[in-house]
Structure 1
Amino acid sequence: MSLMSKTDFRKVWNSVLPLFVSYLPLGLASGILLQSVHFNVLQTFLISVLVFSGGGQFLVVSLLATQSSVSTILMMVFFLELRYALLGATLSHYLKQESNRFLAIFSQSMNDENYAVNHLKFLTDSSWDAKKALWVNWLSMLAWVLANVTGTISAHFVKIDSSLVHFALTAMFVYMLVMHVKNKKRLVAALVSAILAVCFMITIKNTFGIVLATLVASYAGHSFEQWQHKRREVANPTVIVEEQV
């Protein structure tokens, strides 16, 4: 990957700075919690790079604390992170010219927050390209890894209330959601997802309910979009016919 000009790097840095700042306290908390379930610095580094997900890492901590099996942990993390297949699909239009090697590297370093930043930049900035998007991924990962490792190292003399960690993580996701609710379709998907997530978690009593809520909400958003398209066809049949001709 070639280096960027100072102007391009400044643009990337300005875009990733909010993530960089928000990841520091969350990453420190994650590192401290990982140390509480006997992760060393190397293990913290590896899970921060390979999983690169606050939700995934907090899930690992909670499952290890309840002495869950390795197979259970792997399955739960897999289903929790399955949403990245949906997120990645929405970026495919902007990355279709890139090689498979680039896509593999990009996919490994993508998470919810840098996806949101890149998706917004692709929509609003005509100069935004795949290289800038990858640097957003890498810089946000750098912040996350450094914060996690620092948290594990400092865990011997720093104590935090885990409830504060969950509050901060939830607040960050709420911010990212509000930033992306730009139309009725996204609002419907967000509301359906929130309601279903609560219902599934109460009924199933398992984090798999979050995965189900995500899939159902995505389908609901897609169905709502198709319904809107059909309404436009009925309201403006002449325009549709002219476009087909």
Structure 2
Amino acid sequence: MQEKDFREGVSDTLPLLLGMIPFGLAYGILGKSIGLSSGETVAMSIMVFAGAAQFICLPMFAEGASLLMIAFTTLLINLRHLLMGASLATYMSGLSMPFKAFLAFGMTDETYAVTISRAQKGGYSGAYQLGSNATCYLLWVISTVGGVILGSHISDPLSWGLDFAMPATFLALLIPRLRDKVSIVVCLVATLVSVGSVILIPGKWYIIIACLAAVTAGGLMEGEQNAD
């Protein structure tokens, strides 16, 4: 059963990762362009494994920002994982702590989306999440290596429109989950608050502010539904 779940995790994740390939290529190319060595660029994908945070950190490396500031920025951007992890925690109660930590390291927006959908529909499986995580991880590292190799031939990957690949992937993850009034309202709240925060507040605080606003809106609406 676990082997079957693992294979299903792989197959369900692969279609969502088409947008990750150009994103990983772009990261590898940009890493080289700002002065990181090939080894440093690939090692960051292997050890950090956080696409958006890695992109944000590249110009900080180029500007000579301190490691403390880079670490804080990465933490801020990835705080959304607290919310994703919390929603999966109830399904993972039977797993050992080391295995939970291992799965948490490999969780991305894409793997979370397929895992939570599977958990809500057909039951949670650690093997399924592991298959999803492993697929995403390997493809991200491989695409980073490809970007490093292409780096000497493509000076400006963003001019190719590669930066749109990941937003398009996120939309593909989001839209199928907008199935009821609560999810639609939560999406609208997150959109409006994040756009407003980008305009009014410097830095990356809009990510956390939008998450908190969306969680609050969803919690209030679900509370009203349960009361009824």
Give the TM-score, by structure 2 length: 0.91
Question: 2:12 pairs with 12, 15, 24, which one?
Answer: 15
Partner residue of 2:151 out of 155, 169, 175 = 155
Structure 1 gap ranges (5+): 233-245
With 141-150 and 58-67 compared, the bigger mean Cα shift is at: 58-67
Q: Which has the higher contact order (CA 8 A, sep 6+)?
A: 2
The equivalences for 1:52-201 within 5 A come to: 52-126=49-123, 129-162=125-158, 164-201=161-198
**In 2, Cα distance between equivalents of 1:221 and 1:51:** 31
Aligned residues: 227
Cα distance change, pair 169–118 in 1 and its aligned pair in 2 (3 A): same
Alpha-carbon separation, structure 2, partners of 1:140 and 1:228: 36
Distance 2:139 2:43 in 1: 14
- Cα distance in structure 2, aligned partners of 1:41 and 1:4: 37
Give how far 1:40 is off: 2.0
CA-to-aligned-CA distance 1:178-231 (integer Å, 9 cap, x gap) = 12222222212111111111111111122122221112211221111112222x
The CA distance in 1 between the partners of 2:72 and 2:147, in whole Å, is 26
Runs of 4+ in 1 over 6 A off after TM superposition: none
Structure 1 139/77 Cα, relative in aligned 2: closer, same or farther at 3 Å? Answer: same
Identical columns (%):
30
TM-score, length of structure 1 as denominator length: 0.85
**Structure 1 residues 100 and 8, CA gap change in structure 2 (3 angstroms):** closer
Q: CA deviation at 1:80?
A: 0.8
How far off its partner does 1:41 sit? 2.6
Shift of 1:120: 1.0
Aligned ranges 1:225-240 → 2 under 5 Å: 225-230=222-227, 232=228
Provide the rounded CA distance (Å) in 1 between the counterparts of 2:61 and 2:45: 16
